[in-house]
Amino acid sequence: MNFDADLLARLQFAFTIAFHIIFPSFTIGLASFLAVLEGLWLTTRRPVFRNLYLFWVKVFALSFGMGVVSGVVMSYEIGTNWAEFAKASAPVIGPLLAFEVLTAFFLEASFLGVMLFGWRRVGPGLHFLATLLVAVGTLVSAFWIISANSWMQHPTGFVELADGSLRATDWMAVIFSPTFASRFVHMSLAAYLTTALAVGAASAWALLKDDDQPESRMALRMAIGMFAIVAPLQLLAGHESGKMVLEHQPLKTAAIEAYWRTGPDQPQSLVGLPDRDAGKTHLEVAVPGVGNLIQGVPKDRVLQGLDAFPRADWPVVGLVYWSFRLMVGLGLAMIALGGWGAWLMARKRLDQSVWFLRAAVAMGPAGFVAVIAGWIVAEVGRQPWTIYGVLRTADSASPVGAGQVSASLLAFMVIYAIVFSAGAVYILRLIDKGPEPGPEPLPSGDGRAPGTALAAVPPEPEA
């Protein structure tokens, strides 16, 4: 492999974006989780929801901060390493990213201050409004970023000028490109799943140490409820997204499934070792005759294989193939975990099942891994294009030398290792400590704590 400036710039972006995506995929779900917790606290006044809120808001603030820092790096990286891409696509991509900053990032950044420092000052109602605005902000942020990326996957609503730069002719077509809706749903559900698995793992960890923790018991049940419902939905959303890929990027589908030859009635490859040079999959385990069925097309429909495209345009087939299987495998494991947890909850045996708690802890990082694997499928599968069919990756890079890019890559690796390791260790320590029970409300004169069901019962008249 020749480590030229282009490849090093790609590795640098892959490294920084893989770090970055960990944080938004966590904070999108966590912001909604906090809104649900606060809403439940406001309606029930049960201290367990307040204590969970006060615990998870710390994790949210740290993750949000690290997400911002790692995200800022990428926007500068586009300028330093991908100047030709920026020059060509800025009139289209630039406004989408600007909208993200103006409508989403500032919404999150502004009201995070109220969330953290203003509960007593603004009162419960306005504080809940701030939490809701931050939760909406995280989703609006995902909307614009997925919109920009979906346009790069399948560009529509633009013209290419004589100087090679792109201009939008139809903003609605740019924002809502054909693959956008399915990808936005897929990514949002992935974020919710990631958060549910992380919250579930943290709660299971706490319960393994001490099972008398009402906060962790409640959070575990909420997490199981979330991933038991969302994981199967994600399978359907992923399938819809896959159908869009087949329609608009058949080369990516061919790489995902290792379809080497064009033809009808494709096999479904389960595992194997794709060999790009030999044009075959070694040690393959495949189910013949079900590939078309899984793609949701008739058996006799001809599906393009890699042989339908110039070999120079093939992505790294093995990486795309295995990243996809890793993502799907983890998704199936999430469905199994959700089903198991729901079954235990229904039988009221959740707290006694040490094996389930251990499995929940082990699955804690699964959401993050699946999200990164999914993005590898999307981004490596789009190669050799940055804007599919319009601008090649080789024509997108800045005219900088390999030495400059490798120096900045090395610097990023060192700085990220220090900064984000410290952040991750701090978050893990916080999680290890678990939610604090907090001050229980003082019982009223008759010994009934306010906010409880008993407190709602009118006192008996004295004789």
Partner 1 sequence: MPVIIEPPPEEDAPRPSLRRRIGWFIGLAVASMAATVLVAYTLKALLV
Q: Which residues bind partner 1 (CB under 8 A)?
A: 41, 45, 50, 54, 57-58, 61, 68, 72, 76, 105-106, 109-114, 116-124, 126-127, 129-130, 438, 441, 450-451
Contacts of 207 (CB under 8 A, 6+ apart): 213, 216, 217, 220, 351, 357
- Nearest approach in angstroms of CB 133 to partner 1 is 9
Neighbouring-strand partners of residue 158: 168
Tokens representing residue 262 in the block: 């064009």
- The angle, 0 to 180 degrees and rounded to 10, between the axes of the packed helices 354-362 and 317-346 is 150
From residue 240, give the alpha-carbon distance in Å to each of 86, 247, 298. 31, 11, 16
- Nearest approach in angstroms of CB 263 to partner 1 is 52
Complex with partner 1: residue 110 or 352, whichever CB lies closer: 110
3-state secondary structure of 285: strand
CA distance linking residue 247 with residue 304, whole number of Å: 11
- Nearest approach in angstroms of CB 118 to partner 1 is 5
436 contacts 55 by C-beta, under 8 angstroms: yes
Complex with partner 1: residue 113 or 264, whichever CB lies closer: 113
Complex with partner 1: residue 41 or 99, whichever CB lies closer: 41
- Nearest approach in angstroms of CB 290 to partner 1 is 51
Complex with partner 1: residue 117 or 171, whichever CB lies closer: 117
Complex with partner 1: residue 329 or 438, whichever CB lies closer: 438
Complex with partner 1: residue 3 or 106, whichever CB lies closer: 106
Complex with partner 1: residue 60 or 375, whichever CB lies closer: 60
Tokens representing residue 276 in the block: 């790009």
- Nearest approach in angstroms of CB 393 to partner 1 is 24
Neighbouring-strand partners of residue 273: 282
Q: How far apart are the first and last CA of the chain?
A: 91
Residue 146 sits at φ, ψ, to 5 deg, of -70, -35
Contacts of 341 (CB under 8 A, 6+ apart): 200, 224, 227, 228, 350, 356, 360
- Nearest approach in angstroms of CB 452 to partner 1 is 12
- Nearest approach in angstroms of CB 98 to partner 1 is 13
CA-atom Rg of the chain in angstroms: 25
